[in-house]
Amino acid sequence: MSAPRRWPRWLYSAALYLLSPLVWRRVWREHALTNSRWERLGLLSRSPASGPWLWLHCASVGEVQAARPLIEALLAHYPRHRLLVTTMTATGAERVHALIEARRRTGEPERLAHRFLPLDYPGAAKRFVARLCPELAIFFETELWPNLLTACRRRGVPTAVVNGRLSPRAFRGYRRLRPLMASALAQLDWLAAKSRGDAERFRALGMPATRTDVVGSLKYDLTPDDAASEQSKRLCTRLGSRPVWVAGSTHPGEDERLLEAHARLRQSYPNALLILVPRHPQRFEAVAELCRERGMALARRSRDEWPDGRTGVYLGDTMGELLMLYGAADLAFVGGSLVPVGGHNLLEPAAMGVPVLTGPELANFADVAETLRQGGALVEVRDSAMLADTLVTLFLDEAERHRLAEAGLAVVAANRGALARTMAGLEQLLPGE
């Protein structure tokens, strides 16, 4: 492998140092009580237990959830190793700690740990990699950090990007930084792209074709665990026969439209219930206040409040329960799609056997949306008015709801296999035990 040019990374590092006040302001807010802020500088406040270590980096809660099958497979395939999962966000940290606690409750050995990813300063990256000394570094989706990749290369740590995703919009932004991206991609030993289009965009940025494979999306390998399925059934039973729909991973400007659609739905179904789950926990209070302003009787899950016959909105203001809440509904709308965010994971409700609805903004999941569309398992709406009309139509048509649910499950089942292909590729970098 030829040595990458150094000057793009030097310029990048200089810019990062110049922007340090802004970077630290953001980091200071992204805090979890379980972790020290000094981890952002590669200073592991509590040194991980003795290795050997595997390292997986996921940006936030969505990536951690999507990576759960991979986490379980790594722990099973490398029984001598411990696995460190790093995140950038506090919500991601909370999700990893929930996985750790779930393993502890089942009596599993404590082989899973969490730390915050160090900021990509050269010194912090070098310090983190030297202290952890992983035998394999895995980055999920589009997490390309030039100094961390360089630190891994210099210590001889093999690196891989799995579930590699690069949307057309992200590609346009990265293309302006092509020398830096080419330098970063040159450090990678393997890129497992989730689609041919993603692979082509990575190659256009400088990723060698000889180290790139298309393996499919790990999101299709999501299998709801028995606990989540059982919780969904209990919640569904308790909610009774009233029409229930869930809107998950919602964003500012979208909640208002969803509440408008729900108000119109309740003109036809006065006892209809919306389970509303904002994407970010810092918005829980604001969304609760918005519901009250719209005159919706509200119950909050975090306070153990239960929706009665008058309740219009059940606010899912907890972490790590979205999959379970999807499974308790008759219909599921996936947020980030009525506003220009690019959508979120359409496969989560599909895997729970719930019909999937979405808005038009699907840039981040265009390939998944197309697969669901071809399988007749996706309902698309333009705006809140069309969403309300669609909800009314689907609540009237139980047979169509059943068809959509079965079609979604079939699409998920037909496209599984990325996990096995990903694990086979990783074994080329680090043989199994």
Q: Return the sign of the alpha-carbon dihedral for residues 76, 77, 80, 86.
A: negative
Q: What is the pTM of this model?
A: 0.84
Average pLDDT over residues 120-137: 94
Residue pair 281/319 in contact (Cβ under 8 Å)? The answer is: yes
> Which residue type is seen at 313?
V
Dist. CA 312–CA 306, nearest whole Å: 11
User: Could you tell me where the beta strands, DSSP code E, fall in 88-198?
Assistant: 112-116, 136-140, 159-164, 190-193
Strands (E), 117-243: 136-140, 159-164, 190-193, 212-214
pLDDT confidence of 29, banded at 50, 70, 90?
A: confident
Q: How confident is the prediction for the chain on average, in pLDDT?
A: 92
Q: How confident is the model at residue 148 (pLDDT cuts 50, 70, 90)?
A: very high
Per residue in 40-74, pLDDT (tens digit) is: 888 875 555 567 999 999 998 889 988 999 999 99
Tracing tokens 């890129």 back to the chain, one arrives at 191
In 191-200, which positions are buried (b, 16+ CB within 10 angstroms) versus exposed (e)?
Answer: bbbbbebbbb
CB distance 287 to 335 below 8 Å: no
Judge whether 338 and 254 are in contact, CB under 8 Å.
yes
Calculate mean pLDDT across residues 86-93: 91
Q: Are 342 and 173 in contact (CB under 8 A)?
A: no
319 pLDDT band (50/70/90 cuts)?
A: confident
Per-residue pLDDT at 47: 52
Q: Can you give the pLDDT at residue 345?
A: 93
- How far does CA 327 lie from the centroid of its chain? 18
Strand order of the sheet with strand 313-315? 298-300, 313-315, 273-278, 244-250, 331-334, 356-358, 378-380
pLDDT higher at 422 or 11? 422
At position 245, the amino acid (one-letter code) is: W
The 10s digit of each residue's pLDDT in 366-418 is 889 999 999 999 999 999 999 999 999 999 999 999 999 999 999 999 999 99
CA dist., res. 265 & res. 284, Å (int): 23
Mean pLDDT of 81-90: 94
Do 276 and 313 touch, CB atoms closer than 8 A? Answer: yes
The C-alpha atoms of residue 309 and residue 311 are separated, in whole angstroms, by 6
Give the SS3 label for residue 376.
coil
Share of the chain above pLDDT 90, in %: 76
**CA nearest to 155, candidates 185, 121, 126, 122:** 126
- The residue count of the chain comes to 433
Whether residue 3 has pLDDT greater than 70: no
Given this model, what pLDDT does residue 105 score?
84
pLDDT tens string 235-287: 999 999 999 999 999 999 999 999 999 999 999 999 999 999 999 888 999 99
More confident position, 330 or 32: 330
DSSP structure class, residue 383: S
Tens digits of residue pLDDT in 107-119: 888 899 999 999 9
- Name the band, by pLDDT with cuts 50, 70 and 90, for residue 292: very high
Report pLDDT digits (tens) over 333-376: 999 999 999 999 999 999 999 999 999 999 888 889 999 999 99
Cα distance between residue 315 and residue 307, in whole Å: 10
Among 316, 308, 197, 194, smallest CA distance to 247 is for 316
- Grade residue 5 by pLDDT with cuts at 50, 70 and 90: low
| Alpha helices (runs of H) in 195-319, residue ranges in sequence order | 196-204, 226-239, 255-268, 284-293
Catalytic annotation, residues: 63
pLDDT over 70 percentage in the chain: 97
